[in-house]
Amino acid sequence: MSFLQNKKILVTGADGFIGSHLVEYLVNQGYQVKAFCFYNSFNSWGWLDTLDKELLDKVEIFTGDIRDPNGIREAMKDCSVVFHLAALIAIPFSYHSPDSYIDTNIKGTLNILQAAKDLNVKRILVTSTSEVYGTAQYVPIDEKHPKQPQSPYSASKIGADAITDSFYRSFNLPVTIVRPFNTFGPRQSARAFIPTIITQLLSGKTDIKLGDLTPTRDLLFVEDTVRAFEAIANCEELIGHEVNIATNSEISIQEVANILIQNINPKAKIITDQNRIRPEKSEVFRLYGDNTKLKNFTNWESKTDFTQAILKTIEWFSNKDNLSKYKSDIYNL
């Protein structure tokens, strides 16, 4: 029996892209799930609102704010496991609103850790990002690669990782820092480059606005990402570790754009939009992750062929109801 069985699991950021997929996956695996969603006056649960009602009825919803320690403590009171995904993640937005990234990503993570310590939570996974590595100094990038804060966003995540590590060392808190590389798939925010390209193409545009096309990314389909979360949570040996979730491969933004154009509208062409280009010292030019540790400690492997994952993603966005939730005319920070 897996460690997660018969334990209530709190998922923060459950209303977001990866969080909603994780909630859906965990419920389908038969786990008890409490979803922490960002409180708002619209009573919106984000992407959870799009899940089948039968599945959603099995989820306990708790609305609050990750920056509020009291709300976090209330949400966590009856939970044995926490998957902490709530974060601000857009890099361009972090250039002009860095305070909010410190409050949400660092202070929010501290709130999780303090509540988990006081409530004697048995397992905590804190979500990091491959952006903490910055442009690769060597490849593949393993967990020992130096951290490089090339944006306020990545700096805030490095800070969150550091406070997490300190709670493991200081209080023996059973934490693991989970570091997905570039996850993509249905429901992804328009601030990511794959949805940006797809939504412009499906909206009928033939001049596709993009920034720098040269950076490479290690692209991971969201279904593989959430399976890795489960595998890591069930692995006691990974407590106190940082763990990459990656595919041991890289592909350039240019190559991905060409694949999407060929599959949706071969007549389209790419136009460079200067507003979308990061400052040179801030751009992460190469991400190529090493998943050796994850594979050595668990039975996880990437199961989704990249071409099939791209086609699944296009199919989801091609649904008019889904596409209507995106504003392809606006550059989403």
- In this structure, the chain runs to a length of 333
Which residues, listed in sequence order, are joined to residue 245 by a DSSP beta bridge? 180
Pairing mode, if any, of strands 207-210 and 123-127? unpaired
Taking a C-beta distance cutoff of 8 angstroms, is the pair 23, 59 a contact? yes
d(CA 247, CA 249): 5
Q: How far apart are the first and last CA of the chain?
A: 43
- Sequence spans of domains, the chain: 8-252+261-323
d(CA 239, CA 241): 6
pLDDT of residue 330: 85
d(CA 228, CA 246): 10
| Reported pTM | 0.97
Give the tokens for residue 107. 């202070």
152 sits in which H/E element: helix 152-171
d(CA 31, CA 273): 45
Q: How many CB atoms lie within 10 A of CB 117?
A: 16
pLDDT of residue 266: 97
259 sits in which H/E element: helix 253-264
pLDDT of residue 2: 87
Can you name the CATH fold of 8-252+261-323?
Rossmann fold (3.40.50)
d(CA 260, CA 306): 12
Q: Looking at 40-117, which runs of residues are DSSP E strands?
A: 59-64, 81-84
d(CA 13, CA 267): 38
Residue 219, SS3?
A: strand
Instruction: Tell me the mean pLDDT per 10 residues along the chain, length 333.
Output: 93 98 98 98 97 98 98 98 97 96 98 98 98 98 98 98 98 98 97 96 95 97 98 98 98 98 97 92 97 98 96 98 92 74
- In the block, which residue shows the tokens 């923060």? 12
Q: Nearest-CA neighbor of 156 among 75, 98, 240, 224?
A: 98
Give the tokens for residue 99. 């305070």
CA angle (42 as vertex; 40, 48 as ends), nearest 5: 80
d(CA 31, CA 47): 19
pLDDT of residue 191: 87
Give the tokens for residue 42. 């619209």
pLDDT of residue 29: 97
